A and B are shown apart, each in its own frame.
Chain A
């Protein structure tokens, strides 16, 4: 009877390269829940909120800021593989995401959204992480296609990250291989709805019944 070799232990996914545990702990305490808070807005609204009757101001202010955030989500132009062709089709005039306020922008410094479109290889993952780190907070990520959702057909390959959520936090997963532009458009609309639930405190968004 053939004896199967032991299944290799896959370490738990972490989002960053940490030199040691202490550094990881420090990072975790400094940014407790994900990467999604804007410290400037947070301090301002915290100040107003602690004022007597301030919540009357801050709750509409949050709604206003979320409306502003969701109405101008700029995706960074970052194409990895064949999904990027569908992403380009989504950006072009037939599907035209610009009517939703999404301007594909060629700089991560001015972008709010990263659409991970394609296979993330182990060699590409540090560059993806660096581009994600260069984006200002608050920022979102959409995982587009089977490859970046889970590794897809290349999941058991030697060189593929089994899902981009092992590298960066992901908000919306768009299935498909590749997803047609309609799917991506639907994912972006779901993302906008999720952004409208965004809380200033840095807590992740409430579970969206349509998404989660």
Chain B
């Protein structure tokens, strides 16, 4: 599996996906990489299944989110094929005020804690996650600290 083959397969299967052109100067990632795929939110779980079964990306590297204020929240995950070093970064944009996303935990077990952390910091509810609760912060924590709307120096009694 090379990057060209992966691009062709993604273009055939996911017509609504937007595939970024590669940046070949990053030679460590191989020719044509890295591969960034921007998806509509309903294609999130199907693409992960496709990447695991067809592209052979069986290693779940990480999942995180970016808060773009009025423009919504980006959720992105990186999937690696460790045999052929093809890496896919999948990305979706949740509209402003939306905090629902499909969970990748049924496909990748490694997504479990990553999604819990993402829920902890950004408040994104992952549908279909087996055990969605806070992982790093205390259970009684109010708010989601990595959102841009979380005020600096929000007090947390009794320590501040």
Q: Spell out A's residues near B (CB within 8 Å).
A: 5, 7-11, 13-14, 17, 122-123, 125, 156, 158-159, 161-162, 166-167
Partner of B159, one of A5, A7, A9, A167: A167
Given contacts A10-B155, A156-B153, A162-B160, 11 further A-B contacts (CB under 8 A): A8-B151, A9-B155, A10-B153, A11-B158, A13-B160, A123-B137, A158-B150, A158-B154, A159-B145, A161-B160, A166-B160
0/1 interface trace, chain B 118-160, chain A, CB 8 Å (1 if under): 0000000000000000000110000001000011111111111
A11 to chain B: which residues have CB within 8 Å? 155, 157-158, 160
- A11 to B159, alpha carbons, bound, how many Å? 8
Q: Which residue of A lies closest to B150 (CB)?
A: A158
Q: Which residue of B lies closest to A158 (CB)?
A: B145
Query: A122 with B159: in contact, given A158-B145, A159-B137, A159-B145 (CB under 8 Å)?
Result: yes
Q: Which residue of B lies closest to A7 (CB)?
A: B153
- A11 to B158, alpha carbons, bound, how many Å? 7
Of B145, B157, B159, which is in contact with the most chain A CB atoms at under 10 Å from its CB? B159
Q: Say whether B155 contacts A123, CB under 8 Å.
A: no
A158 to chain B: which residues have CB within 8 Å? 145, 150, 154
Q: Say whether B154 contacts A125, CB under 8 Å.
A: no
Q: Spell out B's residues near A (CB within 8 Å).
A: 137-138, 145, 150-160
- A13 to B160, alpha carbons, bound, how many Å? 7
- A7 to B158, alpha carbons, bound, how many Å? 17
Q: Say whether A8 contacts B138, CB under 8 Å.
A: no
Q: Say whether B153 contacts A17, CB under 8 Å.
A: no
- A162 to B160, alpha carbons, bound, how many Å? 7
Q: Say whether A14 contacts B154, CB under 8 Å.
A: no
Q: Say whether A122 contacts B156, CB under 8 Å.
A: yes
A125 to chain B: which residues have CB within 8 Å? 159
Q: Which residue of A lies closest to B144 (CB)?
A: A158
Q: Say whether A5 contacts B151, CB under 8 Å.
A: yes
Q: Can you name 21 A-B residue pairings with CB atoms under 8 Å?
A: A7-B153, A8-B151, A9-B155, A10-B153, A10-B155, A11-B155, A11-B157, A13-B160, A14-B158, A122-B160, A123-B137, A123-B138, A125-B159, A156-B152, A158-B145, A158-B150, A159-B137, A159-B145, A161-B159, A161-B160, A162-B160
A166 to chain B: which residues have CB within 8 Å? 159-160
Partner of A8, one of B137, B155, B158: B155
- A5 to B160, alpha carbons, bound, how many Å? 19
A156 to chain B: which residues have CB within 8 Å? 152-153
